[in-house]
């Protein structure tokens, strides 16, 4: 079996506030006609450049390759141009190619990927969602105690047992920073309102997007401790794990991090520093499914848990599900609300969300198929509103 063809699908997300403006899917096709799909996440370039990088990698490393030789492919790509370091752009593209190979292998063997990585440890996966605005709501519902509480109570009544929100924002290019009293007060009052709205039905998860210095994060954490968050996510930027460890040592709130990290090497440094008790690999950026399995194994040895991150399309989510299904230290999975809307439409068969959990699919490979007709219908148009980087911080200092 050899890979003979690749296709790249840049897709404009009609709800860019739920999952980002553009999803980029990479499809590999074997000489026997088996299709494997992966998703590129968070490469720090505009979509056209990301698609060009994906095409370059496929032409150099994937065409003519045996999709079963995943470890060999990964090392060759990772070592290209003699870098051998966790480059975010390379790892985003490599993650998608690696995932597509696993999808092919699973389909060829007629087994889900998790069966090839140790077997399923559970039949369903607890999932959480961000708070999202309804029509008529403020753009940032997590900045208003009343609206955040109303949405959180609504989600809890629908079956969610964990809800995440970032009451700090916006994040900026000049972070980390010390927080103003206004922001500290807002974060405390929003967290209090959400906790009172959901009571003991839900965990609350606080996102921070690396906005704070360690000193600021410790001040915030002390205000949040009475509301017993399941975690404070990425309190400081990802580049200095020792700084994050300062926060972890100073609070009883567990620290979660990892959405911006790539490879076992960066996650190992975070664990060695004591920076996080909960790791959040993003399967479209961390290096792919096998690399995430290695990250989970390192975490297991440190008694750390895995909560895969997701803020993109459902193919990356499907990869996270395959990982979560076969590891012993899974905690919770991020989703885009109930995995409905465009997340469902872009797949031929949607993922199944019920009562706050995702059912582990039993179909071979990733367990999902890209709806190519929908992908073509929503193909990204260069220069359109969706033609931008996935996430962009405020360019000027946040006062």
Cα 184 to chain centroid distance, Å, stands at: 26
Query: Could you confirm whether 302 is annotated as catalytic?
Result: no
**Cα–Cα–Cα angle for 267, 273, 274, rounded to 5 degrees:** 90
Q: Classify residue 96 as exposed, middle or buried by CB count within 10 Å of its CB (0-12, 13-18, 19+).
A: buried
| Residues 346, 22: Cα–Cα separation, whole Å | 13
Residue 399: CB atoms within 10 A of its CB come to 6
Burial track 358-379 (b if 16+ CB lie within 10 A, e otherwise): bebbeebbbbbbbbbebbeebe
Q: Classify residue 182 as exposed, middle or buried by CB count within 10 Å of its CB (0-12, 13-18, 19+).
A: exposed
The phi, psi pair for 352, rounded to 5°, reads -100, 110
Is the CB of residue 215 less than 8 Å from the CB of residue 206? no
In angstroms, how far is the first alpha carbon of the chain from the final one?
A: 57
Closest residue by Cα to residue 278 from 312, 240, 229, 319:
229
| Residues 390, 19: Cα–Cα separation, whole Å | 9
51: DSSP letter: H
Residue 110: CB atoms within 10 A of its CB come to 10
365: DSSP letter: B
The phi, psi pair for 379, rounded to 5°, reads -55, 135
| Residues 158, 340: Cα–Cα separation, whole Å | 14
Closest residue by Cα to residue 155 from 215, 202, 103, 97:
202
Query: Could you confirm whether 209 is annotated as catalytic?
Result: yes
DSSP-derived pairing of the beta strands 278-279 and 305-306: parallel
Query: Which residues are annotated as catalytic?
Result: 209, 309
């Amino acid at each position: 079996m050899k890979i003979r063809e690749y296709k790249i699908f840049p897709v404009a997300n009609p709800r860019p506030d739920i999952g980002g403006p553009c999803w980029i899917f990479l499809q590999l096709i074997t000489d026997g006609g088996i299709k494997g799909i992966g998703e590129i996440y968070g490469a720090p370039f505009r979509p056209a450049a990301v698609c060009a990088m994906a095409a370059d990698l496929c032409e150099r490393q994937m065409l003519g390759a045996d999709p079963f030789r995943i470890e060999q492919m990964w090392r060759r790509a990772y070592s290209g141009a003699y870098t051998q370091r966790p480059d975010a752009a390379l790892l985003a593209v490599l993650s998608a190619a690696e995932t597509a190979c696993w999808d092919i292998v699973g389909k060829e063997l007629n087994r889900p990927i998790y069966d090839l990585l140790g077997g399923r440890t559970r039949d369903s996966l607890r999932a959480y969602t961000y708070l999202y605005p309804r029509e008529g709501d403020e753009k940032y519902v997590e900045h208003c105690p009343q609206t955040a509480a109303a949405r959180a109570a609504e989600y809890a009544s629908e079956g969610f047992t964990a809800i995440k929100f970032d009451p700090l924002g916006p994040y900026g290019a000049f972070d980390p920073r010390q927080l103003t009293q206004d922001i500290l007060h807002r974060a405390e009052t929003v967290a209090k309102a959400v906790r009172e709205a959901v009571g003991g039905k839900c965990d609350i998860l606080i996102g921070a997007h690396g906005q704070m210095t360690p000193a600021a994060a410790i001040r915030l954490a002390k205000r949040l401790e009475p509301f017993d968050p399941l975690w404070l996510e990425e309190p400081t930027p990802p580049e200095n794990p020792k700084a994050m460890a300062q926060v972890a040592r100073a609070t009883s709130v567990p620290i979660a991090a990892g959405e911006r990290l790539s490879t076992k090497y960066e996650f190992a440094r975070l664990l060695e520093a004591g920076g996080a008790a909960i790791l959040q690999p993003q399967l479209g950026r961390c290096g792919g499914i096998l690399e995430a399995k290695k990250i989970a194994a390192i975490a297991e040895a440190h008694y750390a848990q895995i909560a895969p991150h997701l803020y993109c399309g459902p193919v990356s989510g499907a990869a996270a599900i395959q990982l979560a299904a076969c590891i012993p230290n899974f905690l919770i999975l991020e989703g885009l609300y109930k995995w409905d809307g465009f997340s469902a439409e872009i797949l031929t068969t949607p993922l199944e969300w019920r009562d706050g959990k995702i059912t582990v699919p039993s179909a071979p490979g990733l367990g999902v198929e890209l709806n190519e007709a929908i992908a073509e219908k929503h193909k990204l148009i260069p220069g359109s509103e969706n033609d931008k980087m996935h996430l962009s911080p405020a360019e000027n200092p946040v006062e």
